[in-house]
Amino acid sequence: MIFHDIIKATTNGEGDILDVSEQVRALVRESSVTTGVVTCFVQGSTAALTTIESEPGVLEDFNRALAILAPEHTTYAHDLAWGDGNGRSHVKAALVGPSLSIPIRNGQIVTGTWQQIVLVECDIRSRRDRSIFCTVIGE
- For the stretch 69-127, pLDDT in tens is 999 999 999 988 988 889 999 999 999 999 999 999 999 999 999 999 999 999 998 89
The CATH number assigned to the domain holding 34 equals 2.60.120.460
Give 20: exposed, middle or buried? Use CB within 10 Å, 0-12, 13-18, 19+. Answer: buried
pLDDT in tens, 23-68: 999 999 999 999 999 999 999 999 999 999 999 999 999 999 999 9
Spacing of C-alpha 135 from chain mean position: 15
Tell me if the pTM is above 0.85.
Answer: yes
Residue 137 has pLDDT above 90, yes or no: yes
pLDDT in tens, 104-117: 999 999 999 999 99
Tell me, what DSSP letter sits at residue 107?
A: T
Total number of domains in the chain = 1
41 is in which domain, residue-wise?
2-138
pLDDT given for residue 59 in this prediction: 97
